[in-house]
Every structure is written in structure tokens, then in C-alpha cells.
Amino acid sequence: MPVRDDAAVAKLTPRQRLAKLSLAFANLTAARSRHGPIMVLYEDVQWVDPSTIAAMAIISERIARLPMLAVLTARPEFEPPFPAGRLELAPLRPEDVVALVHSLSPTVPLADRVVADIVSRTDGVPLFVEELTRRVLEGSELAAAPAHGVPVTLMSALTARLDGLGGVRALATAASVIGRDFTCALVADVAGMREEDVPRELQRLHEAGIVQQTGEDGWRFRHALMQEAAYGLAPRRQRAVLHGRAAAAISAGSPRMLETRPQVVARHWTLAGNAQAAVPLWLAAGSSALQRGALQEATINLQEGLRLVAELPPASRHTTELRLQMVLGKTQVAMLGHAADVPAETYAHARVIAEAIGADEALVHILFVQWTRALVGAEFRRADELAGELLRSGRRRRHRPTVVMGLYAQGITLIPLGPFGPARRLLERAIAAYDPADRDAYRQAMIGHPLLMMKAFLACVMTRQGSKDAARTILDDAIAESERLGDAYALVNALWHRAYLAHVDEPAEATLAWADRAVQVADDCGALYYSAMAHSAQGWAVARLGDLKDGLRRAREAAGAYVATGGRLIRPEQLTEQALILGRMGDISGALALLHEALAEAEATGGRWALPGAFAVKSHLLERGGDAAAARTASQAARAAARAIGQRLVPIGLFES
């Protein structure tokens, strides 16, 4: 369906697009329900993809108050991730099986022993009952000697039905290779038949109860098990040939599917044994799924491609594997966070390949990701080494984008390490060297618009140096530009820094408003790391507004979510803020214990930026507890730590309001 404003759609995050698409379907359903109660049926949902399940959850919320019944059929192992009543379909009772048998043979009475044999063999499965009854009715010798002629299993019953179709059986097999749904034109290509002959043969399958027509050119196997039985009729080698024909026919007749659903064609080429054709399509499917935010599908598709890499020709094997590993790593980062172990292992493997084949651009990407992991995990010395390696690589190759990324990485690494002066100068140099013409060179390595990301971190330094008005201007401009470009990652980064600036320089209401916006954007684009940080700011603001208990609860939950992503970067500040709230609640000893943990964390990682605030809060709490001498010592430590890195101390009284 066409949309009126492509630019507006392009600005939406993948989750926002899914939500709007689901809402549109729900609205259409709601409009239909105004004319009377309706039912929507979802069949075999155990096979649907995670994105469809997410859409169904959104739709289920919207239609809860409508005169509508949604029915989902699934195998027992399926668990819907949304509220739904559950009705277990037990096997038919023996008397029900007898009734079903008689309803299927109204004009041909079956002997009691035949009916009893069907009851004993079918275990109350309706499709099995139907199949065995058909077999008995179609063969007089079975009616005469049922004990020797009734197939033992449902699949053997279905296979027996297909075996009795003669020449049309080959058409059923060709159709089963395509899937449960197929068209005349496509099955003609796969079966190697003239298209005009296919409808007549399909009619024979329809009369035999195998398929049913779903549209002018559309057909469907009456049951998924019938498709499986038809598929099992052909030897594996023959099926491989048929899958190859299906892949070629879809590629030639529906080229758009290569763009919209490359995994369908990839699956056919895989089962045809053609890894060279399949792997690039698995890569395309994974990349497409990542772009639209379908991270589980992306992972599945990319892993399918990696499974086949060993079958590729040596000339392209390593390059293709590297591309698959790079996209898989990016997917895993989006799912689990930069500091998680799984993407780290993926990128470590990718780096070995990149170094072996001399893939410089991929190495830059990998170095940048590894630097990000080290930074987020508070491995600051390692982050500094990787940032230096990036900068040296760029200078050696005379590659400006890599030089800019190296300056950017070095500048950001110096923020937690200190001092702030050199960090600011490095970021200013990176911003000055940035050229919009190089935008594509940054895409593989960086998430978010490079210039907007750099400006937000420059504002972070300026905030801590005390240049808050200038930082505010930079961040407000970055937020506006991120929204104009529809860059969710750059936007959530700028919003987080803006919430922090509000926390140290504005009323609590402003902090809460900016944090709320950051949470919404982070949750929309699946940025768990930023979501946890923004939720922290919400907790701090709620506490400042007077609800200390709820503020502390929120801050603790957010800190737990942050650590779950592998994050340690702002952990000391999170502990310091919780200590301040506990102190306001009167628990001085508990607050001092948290500060001890915060200072130990900062000392262990070398994150000097957390020391001034932690010592200042410690001084404040010790003074409230009546230990004036210890309070003076902590205050001196706070001032010394601030001078060492060029930080402007924030008056504690601001957080008491």
C-alpha cells in the first residue's frame, strides 16, 4: 500500500514502523467491527516470525474492547507473549471418532470391526480419522480385510493417499517444495509443465482433498501435514532439483522478492545445494532484518549464511564470512549492548579474518566497535590503546574518516580518565576535520550521525567544565538536527546528555522531561544501554521532586538494567546518586557504604571523572552525620580531584531541592 509521505516514514525507527503498521491493521479491524461482531483467525502461529508475534501483541491490545474474537491455532509448545485464553484440543473421544467415521460414510455402512479398528489406530486425531476412513472407502479389499490394510500412522495414511494419485502425484511434490501456499504459474515452472495444463491437474488434487483454491491463481495444501507428506514422496536429490527450479523461477518472475523477502529464495538455494547463490541472499536477508529492527530474524538469517560459508569457493569464502560476521556483530550489539560477551566474540573472530586478508575498512569498523566495548565496560586503558591504534591507522593510510574516528575515540576516552582540557581539544579537532562528503565512510563503523555524536560528547565535556550555557546550545541544536534527519541513535545520545545537563543545572522538572523523552526514543529503537541510563535520570529527578522512595527504587532498577548490558562507565555516578537519596532518607551509614563502593569502582577503573562528585557527597553526608573532621578531609579530596581533571564542582544543595 502506498504512503502519502515517504520522508515521514523514513524518519520512523523500525519499532515505530511496526507499531504504526500494526495499529493500522487494528484500526481497519475496528472499522469493520462497527458493522457487527467479527472473528480473525491466525493459523499455525508456532511458525510465524518474531516480528509478526510482536505485531499481534500490539493488535491484541488495541482490539481488546472491540466486538471481536481472535483465534490462534498452534502446537502445544507455543506460548503467546500477550494475554490470551488457552483451549487445549484433546483427542476425540472414541464415541466422537465413531460419529465422525459414520458422517464420512453416510451411504456405505462400515462393519463394526472396521470402525473399531479405525478408532484404535487413530488416537482420536481428526485428520487421521478422516484419512483412514477415506482409505477404507476407496478400497474394497480394505473393507473386506481392514486389519491388514489400514495404514498404521497418519503420515503413512497421507502418503498412501498421494501414492494413489498416479501422474498427478509429481505435481503435488513440486507444489510442496514451494510451500503450503503456491500459484499455478510457479508450480508449472517447478514441475516443468505447461502453465495451461496445471489447473486441470490441480483440480484433481482438489477433488482428492489434497489442496484447495484460495484465489484466482492461488492454491493451498488443505493441511500442513499433507504438504509434508507430499514433500517426503520425492528422494532428496529430486527435491534439490525442484528447489533449484523454485529459486530460479522466483528470481526471474518475482525479482522484487529478492529485495523484500530474500530469505525465501535463500532457503530454496540452500536446499538445492547451491551455497554460492544462497549465502549472499542470507546476508541480504540478515541486513534487511537488522535495518527494520527485526533482530532475532537477522540473527537466524546470518547464522544460516555462516553455516554454508565452508561450501563457498576459496576465492570468496573469507570475504563473505567477514561480511556476515560484521553484520551479525552489529545485530548482537543492538540486541545485547556494546559490552556484552557475545558480540565481542563475533568481532574478535572477524578481526582475525580481516587481518588475514588485509581488509582495512573492516578493521577500522572492528577497532571502533572494540573501542566502544572497552569504553562502555570502563576498560579505559584498553580503550585508550584502541583509540590510538585507530588514529595511527588513519594517519598511515591518509584516510581522513579514520583519523576523525581516532580523534573522536581518544577525546571521549579522556572524559572519564581526565583531564577534560585535552579531551575537549581532541573532540574539537575531530569536529573541525569532519567532512560531510565522507558520510558513507562512517556508516559501517559508527551508529548515529558522526557529527551529531561528536557534538553531544563535546557538550558533555563542557557541562563538566562548567560551560553549561554553551553546552545547552550545542545539545539543543543536536537534538533538533537528529529529529530532522530521523536519526534515533544520535537523538537518544543527545537527549541523555541533555537530561544530565538539566540534572546538574536546572530544576528537577526539566530533568524528568528530558529523561522521559530519552527513555521513549531509546525504547523505540531498542537501545537498552541508553534506556537504562535515561531511567537512572528519571529516578534522580523523581527523588529531587520529593518522592525519595520511588526515586530510589527507579534508580536502583535502572542501575541493575545498566549493569545487565555490561555497562560500567557511569556505575560510580549511579551509586553516588543513590547514596545521596539514601542520605536524604536518613540512612547515612547505608549511603556511606554505597559511596565506598563508588570510590572503589572509580579507583579500580581509573575513572577519575567520578571522584569529585563522590567525595563531595561523602563530605556532605559525613557533616550531616556529625563527623566534621572527616567531612573536611572528603571536601579537600573532592576539590583536589576536581582540579586534577578540570571539573567544576556542582553544589550539593541543588540536589536537596
So what's the pLDDT on residue 4?
Answer: 55
DSSP letter string, 102-166: HHH-SSSPPPHHHHHHHHHHHTT-HHHHHHHHHHHHH-HHHHHSHHHHS-SSHHHHHHHHHHTTG
Structure-block grid coordinates of residue 333 = 550489539
So what's the pLDDT on residue 83?
Answer: 81
Mark 444-481 as b/e (b = at least 16 C-beta within 10 Å). Answer: bbbbbbbbbbbbbbbbbbbbbbbebeebbebbeebbeb
Examine the pLDDT at 610 and tell me if it is beyond 90.
yes
**What's the first-to-final CA gap in the chain, in angstroms?**
53
Instruction: Give residue 16's pLDDT band: very low, low, confident or very high (50, 70, 90).
Output: low
Range with the lowest mean pLDDT among 120-134, 381-395, 596-610?
A: 120-134
Give the H/E segment covering residue 606.
none
Classify 41 as helix, strand or coil: strand
3-state secondary structure 360-406: HHHHHHHHHHHHHHHHHCCCHHHHHHHHHHHHHHHHHHCCHHHHHHH
List all residues 6 or more positions away from 401 whose beta carbon is below 8 Å from its beta carbon: 394, 438, 441, 442
For residues 226 and 233, the answer to whether their CB atoms sit within 8 Å is no
Instruction: Report d(CA 189, CA 111) in Å as an integer.
Output: 46
So what's the pLDDT on residue 144?
Answer: 38
pLDDT, one tens digit per residue, over 237-257 is: 999 999 999 999 999 988 888
337: left (phi over 0), alpha (psi -120 to 50) or beta: left
For residues 383 and 371, the answer to whether their CB atoms sit within 8 Å is yes
Instruction: Give residue 36's pLDDT band: very low, low, confident or very high (50, 70, 90).
Output: confident
For residues 437 and 395, the answer to whether their CB atoms sit within 8 Å is no
Instruction: Give residue 2's pLDDT band: very low, low, confident or very high (50, 70, 90).
Output: low
Instruction: Give residue 6's pLDDT band: very low, low, confident or very high (50, 70, 90).
Output: low
Mean pLDDT of 555-578: 94
Instruction: Give residue 142's pLDDT band: very low, low, confident or very high (50, 70, 90).
Output: very low
CA angle 55, 61, 62 (to 5 degrees): 90
Examine the pLDDT at 78 and tell me if it is beyond 90.
no
Instruction: Report d(CA 180, CA 177) in Å as an integer.
Output: 8
Instruction: Give residue 656's pLDDT band: very low, low, confident or very high (50, 70, 90).
Output: low
Q: Which residues pair with 72 in a beta bridge?
A: 42
So what's the pLDDT on residue 145?
Answer: 37
Structure-block grid coordinates of residue 11 = 524518519
Range with the lowest mean pLDDT among 71-80, 298-307, 483-492, 532-541?
A: 71-80
pLDDT, one tens digit per residue, over 351-376 is: 999 999 999 889 998 999 999 999 99
So what's the pLDDT on residue 626?
Answer: 92
Averaged pLDDT score across all residues of the chain: 87
Sign for the pseudo-dihedral over CA of 454, 456, 460, 465: positive
pLDDT, one tens digit per residue, over 495-543 is: 999 999 999 999 999 999 999 999 988 887 778 889 999 999 999 999 9
Instruction: Give residue 400's pLDDT band: very low, low, confident or very high (50, 70, 90).
Output: very high
398: left (phi over 0), alpha (psi -120 to 50) or beta: left
Mark 600-628 as b/e (b = at least 16 C-beta within 10 Å). Answer: ebbeebebbbbbbbbbbbbbbbbbeeebe
> Could you tell me what percent of the chain has a pLDDT over 90?
55
- Cell numbers 536429490 correspond to 237
Q: 620 or 121: which carries more pLDDT confidence?
A: 620
Tell me, rounded to whole angstroms, the distance of Cα 609 from its chain centroid.
Answer: 33
So what's the pLDDT on residue 114?
Answer: 82
DSSP letter string, 45-101: GGGS-HHHHHHHHHHHHHTTTSSEEEEE---TT---SS-------PPPPHHHHHHHH
What is the edge-to-edge ordering of all strands in the sheet holding 211-213?
181-183, 218-221, 211-213
So what's the pLDDT on residue 10?
Answer: 57
Enumerate the H helices of 179-235 as residue ranges.
184-191, 198-207, 224-232
pLDDT, one tens digit per residue, over 585-599 is: 999 999 999 999 999
| Radius of gyration, CA atoms only, the chain | 32
Structure-block grid coordinates of residue 130 = 478422516
- Cell numbers 530474500 correspond to 262
Examine the pLDDT at 68 and tell me if it is beyond 50.
yes
Selection from 160, 196, 166, 198 nearest residue 182 by Cα: 198
So what's the pLDDT on residue 143?
Answer: 40
So what's the pLDDT on residue 545?
Answer: 95
